[in-house]
Amino acid sequence: MSRLVVVSNRVPLPDKAGNPPAGGLAVALHAALRERGGIWMGWSGKSTGEDEPGPLSIRENGAIQYALTDLTDRDVAEYYNGFANRVLWPICHSRIDLTEYARREMAGYFRVNRLFADRLVPLLRPDDVIWVHDYHLIPLAEELRRRGVRNRIGFFLHIPWPPADIFFSVPVYEAILRGLCAYDVVGFQTDYDVENFAGCLRREGVGEPLGGGRFRAFGRSFVAGDFPIGMETAEFAAIAAKSPDDRRIREMARSLGGRDLLIGVDRLDYSKGIPQRIEAYERFLRSAPEYMGKVIYLQVTPASRSEVPEYASMQETVASEAGRLNGALGTVDWVPMRYINRSIRRPVLAGLYRLAKVGLVTPLRDGMNLVAKEFVAAQDPEDPGVLVLSRFAGAARELDSALLINPHDAEGTAKAIQRALSMPLDERRERWDHMMKRLLSHDVVQWCADFMAHLEPPTHRFLPEPAP
């Protein structure tokens, strides 16, 4: 079996005992890397504070090598805080209004991709299979090809791919599109993303579908398709099932004083629709005042990308909206909303999901949104909570038994919250069963195997069955 080389902007490092960090993607990719042997390469998350990026630092853990590079302050500003998170992120989430395009930052993005390619080439063996992740590294395959790399290279985009008109508003869109077409397999989260990508090729007149998921563009052919990412469903469900014994969950349950819990868990990001969610919750309380004092909405929101101005201002907006809501509707013995700005460890999170009657996952746009899946997986099969899910999350393509809402429609979302809180047990069970079956049959291990089966060199894929 050929080695696997994973490249991503951030690298989830194992703890001192060599265990991978929690989270489906890290666990599944570590399992694949352990099985085949290989490398996980990426940014260390640090900057050198000097004019030159640091040397590649290699750390061994069994069959896996971690290859990490520090970047310069300028790289971080231009590549990460700049082009990746002020152009590609907003564009892919259909927010042209929030893009801040600067040629210097675009040059920094391509420069860091060249640096990654320069550093990766000496580590590669001819039959390694390379799997690149996410929007930070779209040009990497083209850079590797320029350096003579002939290996199979796959790419998975964790975020949405936008419609052509939106994508074309990036001044260097052609270089980005051509970069994607230098891979052998390009994976998207949903069929809608694949349609948008195919629409970009067609409208630009640079490529066409050949059928069966194959495309020809910029003089080469490759596969592009939807590979909706899954989670570690069974493991997470088992952790959640044990959570009622956890002291922290018992304390949380006590603090609710018999009130129903609604939960939202999101990185602080404008794509998550948190202010719109607070507005919908307020509308729900005002239109169904019998619930005042009877429900609590917990919003868990770790800060993110705080050096990007749009994120800093979202931080202020959410904090002030949460404060305003509590000031307007709270009483001396009840606050409608608890808002915390830090992340929560997965076992506790699993318990909180299970404690909640309603999961609020209402992004304005989201590639997949694994919180939606985690909420479902954590529920008690005998008495499951209800998922209120934005139709604009990739997860809605699979979890169509959730209460699907339009996050721009505060009244509609408010009604869905009320419906969720009053849904009869039979209906809750039926909806949950349907979603849980899907999550069990399409988990993250399956996702990884499916992508790898497409990426594997054809000779490996079509080996004849051994004679009986």
The residues of the shown chain that bind ligand G6P, judged by CB under 6 A, are 10, 134, 158-159, 304-305
CB of 253 to ligand G6P, least distance (A): 30
CB of 315 to ligand G6P, least distance (A): 14
Closest CB to ligand G6P among residues 7, 166: 7
Contact 363, 372 (CB under 8 A): no
Contact 403, 430 (CB under 8 A): no
Neighbours of 19 (CB within 10 A): 11
CB of 423 to ligand G6P, least distance (A): 30
Give the list of residues 6+ apart from residue 441 with CB closer than 8 angstroms, or none. Answer: none
CB of 158 to ligand G6P, least distance (A): 4
Closest CB to ligand G6P among residues 158, 277: 158
Of the candidates 158, 184, 266, 442, the residue annotated as catalytic is 158
Show the tokens assigned to 262. Answer: 């609604």
Give the list of residues 6+ apart from residue 323 with CB closer than 8 angstroms, or none. Answer: none
CA distance 280 to 414: 5
Closest CB to ligand G6P among residues 27, 423: 27
Task: Indicate if 158 belongs to the active site.
Answer: yes
Sole residue written with tokens 């970009």: 200
Task: Tell me, rounded to whole angstroms, the distance of Cα 53 from its chain centroid.
Answer: 28
Q: Which conformational region is residue 213 in: left (phi greater than 0), alpha (psi within -120 to 50 degrees), or beta? A: left
CA distance 69 to 78: 16
CB of 303 to ligand G6P, least distance (A): 10
Which residue has its beta carbon closest to ligand G6P?
Answer: 158
Taking Cα atoms as reference points, which of 197, 240, 223 lies closest to residue 351? 240
Give the three-class secondary structure for 357: coil
Closest CB to ligand G6P among residues 215, 392: 392
Of the candidates 134, 193, 366, 443, the residue annotated as catalytic is 366
Give how far Cα 118 sits from Cα of 40, 72, 80, 225, 368, Å.
15, 16, 19, 29, 32
CA distance 296 to 331: 12
Closest CB to ligand G6P among residues 305, 346: 305
Show the tokens assigned to 268. Answer: 């602080």
**Alpha-carbon dihedral angle through residues 301, 97, 175, 216, given to the nearest 10 degrees:** 80
Closest CB to ligand G6P among residues 10, 145: 10
Contact 421, 358 (CB under 8 A): yes
Closest CB to ligand G6P among residues 305, 431: 305
CB of 414 to ligand G6P, least distance (A): 28
Show the tokens assigned to 465. Answer: 């069955």
Q: Which conformational region is residue 205 in: left (phi greater than 0), alpha (psi within -120 to 50 degrees), or beta? A: left
CB of 192 to ligand G6P, least distance (A): 17
Sole residue written with tokens 């969950």: 249
CB of 367 to ligand G6P, least distance (A): 6
Task: Indicate if 136 belongs to the active site.
Answer: no
Closest CB to ligand G6P among residues 134, 282: 134
Taking Cα atoms as reference points, which of 233, 173, 236, 179 lies closest to residue 203? 173
Give how far Cα 453 sits from Cα of 110, 212, 366, 461, Å.
30, 15, 26, 7
CA distance 168 to 174: 8
Q: Which residues are catalytic?
A: 158, 366
